[in-house]
Structures are given as C-alpha cells and as structure tokens.
Structure 1
Amino acid sequence: MLSRSDLADVPIGPAEVVRAVEDAYLAFAGGDSDNPRKLSVAHPDGWSVAYAMLGRDGRRRVVAMKTSYKFDPHHDRSTKRYYTTITLYDDATGLPIAMMDCARVGALRTPAVSALLVRETVRPGARSVLLIGTGTQGRNALPQLLAANPQLDRLMLYGTHAEGLAAVKAELLHHHPEAELEIVDDPYAAARSADVILATAGPGTKVALESSDMAPGAVAVLVGYGLAPSTLGDADRVIATSAEQMALTGTDMAGPDGRLRRVDAELPQILSRRAVGRIAEDEKIFVYNSGLVLTDIAVAHALAVRAIAEGRGTQVPLWD
C-alpha cells in the first residue's frame, strides 16, 4: 500500500513524465495495450461523480484498475472531496505490485498529456501561453508544458486565489529558475494575444472564453473549466485524447442543438503519425484532454517502482 504521503516526494522530473506518457500512447496506437471505455455513475443533482477505469499496458506488462470519486455539492474548495486510487498487477508474474493513492499520478499525468497535445497542435513560431486556474492541474501545468515545448517563453497566468498564484509560480521556478510569469487581471484580453490557452480552472470559475476571444492560429486545451462551448463548436479543428471519452465526459461543451462537434483526430494516432494535429497556421484548434488510464499506469508504475525500491509504503497480507 502506497499512501499519498509515501508518494509525495518520490523524485520524477517533468521530461521523464512526458516521455512515459508518450510511450503509453504509442503502445496503445501500436495495438500493444488495451484501454476500454470508462464507467461512470453520478448523483442526479450533480453532488458527486465516480469513475472506474481498467487498462493493460502491454509494453510494461502491467494491468491496472483505477477508481475516482468526487463529492462537490457546492463547487467550493472547502467542501470538495476527491479520492482516486490505482491498483497495479504484474502481468508477467501474476502478482500484485501495489495499491496506491492516485492523486500525484493524476497531477503529473494530465499536464503531461496537455504538453503533448500542445506540441502536436501549436502553430509554428508560437511563443505565448495563457494558463487559467491555479488548482492542482494549474500548479503542475507549466513545467510539463515547457518540457515538451521549450520555445514558449511568454507565460501568462490568471487566477483568483493568492495562494494558488504563488504555488504556480513556485512550481514553475523550481524547474525553470530563469522563467518569468506574468499575472494577468483580464483573461479575455490575455487570450486574444495567446498562442496557447490551457483551461484548468475548477467548476466555480466565472471565466468562459468564447471562440471570438481566441487569436487566429491559437490552440485551446480544455482540462477543467474556463472555455465556453463556442470554442469547440466554432473550431476549425478538434483534437481529443479519446473521442469516446470526450463523448462521455464532455457533454457540458455541447452546442445549442445538444450535440458535440466530431473529433478530427486523436492523440495516439497523431503521435504515431497516422494523423496530423494541425493543417493550417491560422486554424483555431480546440483540444479535449480527458486522459486515458494507460497514462496513469505509466506514471503510477514509475512512481511505485521507485517508492518500493526506497522501502516506502506498507506491505499488507491482503490475500494471505
């Protein structure tokens, strides 16, 4: 058993996380891994939502099951409860590896996916990025983004929590001491000059950028909240990690007719060069980052192997 505190300071750098996530996508695109559609149940009034995800990483020979549960009745940080776990099994020996808290895994995996999505869709010559949100995803977004896109050197941040703004800056400077972070007061004005928009805010945000707020050639990545449905509906091109999962979890981005725009290409196919992310420089591209459990497996396995080697965690006689 590996707890949140066991995993909190296991060393792993942004570039290594990005490589692990990319490798997981390439294995999936090559037919070496399996990633069935996630299952979900939700409270009818929106108080809670739970997901269950199963995956098999054929290259690492690891099978895993991940669960997540979010209780968020008032869209308020003080009452929100969110728990995720992942259980890893060695598919070469048939033995369990670990049951572990998945908070840090998700905090690292999701921005690494965004970094790859940006790398494959950003226009040539792009330099500026606007990050919306200072929660867990916002705090880890920029180091991962720069690991895959080092040319981005104008970094703008919008948030409403002073401690969150400070945490985003601290995490960025930890990995990139020379970086400069510009705190913006008007996300709409900032968006009009941004080549990349990362929307990682929580459901309580008042920001909802429209398609008209995007500059020609910009790419907008939806991780949490911060984008209006028009950014999807009016996009010249739509990219997703998984069209199937976007259909399941992206219903709040549906157009006036209640339908979601079709996805033009998925990240695994783009990474394997079976599809392209961007066709023209002036395209406005909408990107939906829903994550695949295979990317959780890749990061979780890397953390578990290191944690176990360091003697962390608690060995429990669960099946004795």
Structure 2
Amino acid sequence: MDRNDTALRVLSTSDLAGLEISLADVVDTVEHAYRTLAAGQSDNPRKLTVKPADGHSVSYAMLGRDGAREVVAVKTSYKHGLHESRDKQHYYTTLTIYDDVTGLPVAMMDCSRIGSLRTPAVSALLARECAAPGATTALVIGTGTQGRLALPFLLTTLPGLERLLLSGTHPDGIDAVRAELAHHFPGRDIELVTDLSRAARDADVIVATAGAHTPAAIEAEALKPGATSILVGHGLAPSTLHRADRVIATSEAQMRVTGTDMAAADGSFPPVDLELPVIISDASKARTSPEQRIFAYNSGLVVTDIALGHRFAQLAAAQNLGTEISLWT
C-alpha cells in the first residue's frame, strides 16, 4: 500500500466481496492483533453506546490504534428495527483507517464482511485455547451470518474435529452452512440435530450464534465434563456462565455491558478468570484441568477489526479496487 497516497480509498460491500482471503490469514491477523494489544502496543478504549428509551435502535462508536500496523481507526455501527424480524432490520457499519506514520487517510470501508470473518475467527481462537485435549465434536447453534462460517473456522484452528453438529431451523441457513463448509473443506458435512440437549452432551465445543428470538437455551446440566461453551449471540442459558468452572472473555468490561441477558437475577456476573489477549500472549492458560467446563464470551474488540480492515485495505490497493476520493480538498 502506498503510504504517501493522499486520497481516501472507499471500499464498498461489492469491492470487499471480491477479495480472496484464506481463513488461516484471517485467524493469523486477528491473533496478531491480540498479541499486540497484550504487549501494550495497541489501544482499545471502551466503546460508546447510544440506545433510545424504547430500544428500537442501537449505535456504537469505537476508536482504536494498532501499534504493529501503526494505524488508527474509527468503527461505527448502527442497527435499526431491533423489535422487528431480522429481514426487516437495517444495519450499517463502517471502518475508517488512518496511517499513524504519515498522518494520511488510508481507507473507509463497509465493515460487515470484516465482522462476519472476525467474529468466527475469534470463536475459533477461543476454542483452540479453551478446548479440552482430544476434542472431537463441535456443535454450532444458529445458521445466520456468524453460524455459517463457524465450522470452517473451527476446523482451521482445531483440525482434529471429527463430528460437526448443527442446530438450526431455517432451511436456507442450513444450506448456506453446508455450502460454506463444502467450499472451505470439501468432503466434510454436518449432522443436523433436533434434540439440542442430547447434542450438547456429546459436544466438546459449543458455539452459540443464534439470534435473539431463538428458543434454544442449553442449560449447564446438559454440558459434558470438559466442555467449552462459546457465546457469540444466543443459544446458551445463563447457567452455563454462572456454573462454569472457568470464565473467559475477550473483554470482561464488554461482557458486563453487552451480555446483560446472561446476568443473574440481581444483575451480577461471576468474575472473569482470564481475557483472551492474555491467553493468546501465552502469559496464562485458559484451562487448568481437562474436566473443567469453560464458558467463553466472544465480544468484538475494535483492534481486531482494525487489523483485519487494514489487511483488506492492503489487498484492495494491490488490486486497485475501490474508489479514491479527495474528501478534504
């Protein structure tokens, strides 16, 4: 990427859709962002949130700096129609990146694909760090945006997985999960499950990605010894958090803000044992016993969006994709 380019490269949804990036590249980029943060080289302040009293919309603003890539970025997120079904909601998210060496703008982009890749990559890193030795069975709950790439990313970090279970109710979503899995791992397929509690008793790793209206809610007693439960959206009951032997989070502060549906009746949360950046840095281990049931909360840190967005900006510049505008002239 030309660090002396004074124009702002604007990357649309279609521009980013045409960029090829491997799952391993995404995982490596996200993991490196965590390592840089744990080393004190990056900054990830707490997000700002605005939500009207009736709860019909929610918006976020997140500022961060990647010390390894030497870039600063601002991410914004706005969702409207929270009381509506998913197909009636409006969602817009953008990332604007600046070069912190030259002081020049780098790119502004739609951040939806960044999030659709970053989140399952983080789940896969949580699974790699938290799963009991010899884990062979993974269960994914939900077939939306996050559910569709959950299994390919899990296979990227846990190649020893043998059984891939899926709990979903939407035929199009189930087909999409199968298509993504076949694309990235030809010859592999899912086992569609209808008895969620029984499937949970078989699963070494559970990734809950379902939407807010799902009836699915696995209770703690359904988990086998040594199970790792990762919450991205919905599908796990609060007991899986409160009765866990170990609690891991990408950010304890964010869990307490965005995970309020998992709080106890008095609004309390159990303490978080470790945050993922510390684990990724090899300073501590997520699991101290094979029999521990681990609960992991996956909430986004903007430094991972920045790293992955900058990687996409590099790929786009190399292919001359996007529209360059002189916004400040």
Please indicate the TM-score interval, normalised by the length of the shorter structure.
over 0.9
2:13 counterpart of 1:4: yes
Between the aligned partners of 2:282 and 2:48, the Cα distance in structure 1 is 29
Q: Any gaps of 5 or more consecutive residues in structure 1?
A: none
2:191 counterpart of 1:179: no
Q: Any gaps of 5 or more consecutive residues in structure 2?
A: 1-9
Aligned to 2:205: 196
2:237 counterpart of 1:222: no
Which piece of structure 1 moves more, 24-33 or 301-310? 301-310
Moved over 3 A (4+): none
Q: Is the 8 A contact 1:89 1:95 kept in 2?
A: yes
Paired residues in the alignment total 320
2:266 counterpart of 1:257: yes
Between the aligned partners of 2:157 and 2:81, the Cα distance in structure 1 is 33
Between the aligned partners of 1:213 and 1:288, the Cα distance in structure 2 is 18
Amino acid at match of 2:250: T
2:139 counterpart of 1:123: no
Between the aligned partners of 2:312 and 2:97, the Cα distance in structure 1 is 11
Q: Is the 8 A contact 1:126 1:152 kept in 2?
A: yes
Aligned to 1:24: 33
- The equivalent position to 1:243 in structure 2, one of 249, 252, 260, is 252
Amino acid at match of 1:39: L
| Superposition map of 1:46-57 within 5 A | 46-57=55-66
Which piece of structure 1 moves more, 170-179 or 308-317? 308-317
Q: What SS does structure 2 have at the residue aligned with 1:204?
A: coil
Q: What SS does structure 2 have at the residue aligned with 1:239?
A: strand
Q: What SS does structure 2 have at the residue aligned with 1:274?
A: coil
2:174 counterpart of 1:165: yes
Identity %: 59
Aligned to 2:241: 232
Amino acid at match of 2:278: Q
TM-score between both structures, scaled by the size of structure 1: 0.98
2:150 counterpart of 1:144: no
Aligned to 1:302: 311
- The equivalent position to 1:89 in structure 2, one of 78, 95, 98, is 98
2:205 counterpart of 1:211: no
Amino acid at match of 1:93: T
Residues 276-301 of structure 1: CA deviation (Å, up to 9, x unaligned): 10111111110000021010011111
2:323 counterpart of 1:314: yes
**How far does residue 271 in structure 1 lie from its aligned partner after superposition?**
1.1
Amino acid at match of 1:304: A
Amino acid at match of 1:129: A
Amino acid at match of 1:171: E
Aligned to 1:283: 292
**How far does residue 45 in structure 1 lie from its aligned partner after superposition?**
2.4
Between the aligned partners of 2:106 and 2:164, the Cα distance in structure 1 is 39
Amino acid at match of 1:139: R
**How far does residue 75 in structure 1 lie from its aligned partner after superposition?**
4.3
Between the aligned partners of 1:244 and 1:73, the Cα distance in structure 2 is 23
2:117 counterpart of 1:108: yes
Q: What SS does structure 2 have at the residue aligned with 1:192?
A: helix
**How far does residue 180 in structure 1 lie from its aligned partner after superposition?**
2.3
Between the aligned partners of 2:162 and 2:305, the Cα distance in structure 1 is 28
Residues 36-82 of structure 1: CA deviation (Å, up to 9, x unaligned): 11111112222111111111000000100001111233341221111
2:45 counterpart of 1:36: yes
Between the aligned partners of 1:217 and 1:191, the Cα distance in structure 2 is 12
Amino acid at match of 2:260: T
Between the aligned partners of 1:16 and 1:73, the Cα distance in structure 2 is 33
Between the aligned partners of 1:233 and 1:256, the Cα distance in structure 2 is 11
Aligned to 2:74: 65
Q: What SS does structure 2 have at the residue aligned with 1:93?
A: coil
Between the aligned partners of 1:140 and 1:216, the Cα distance in structure 2 is 26
Q: Is the 8 A contact 1:153 1:179 kept in 2?
A: no
Aligned to 1:293: 302
Q: Is the 8 A contact 1:75 1:203 kept in 2?
A: no
**How far does residue 2 in structure 1 lie from its aligned partner after superposition?**
0.5
Amino acid at match of 2:247: V
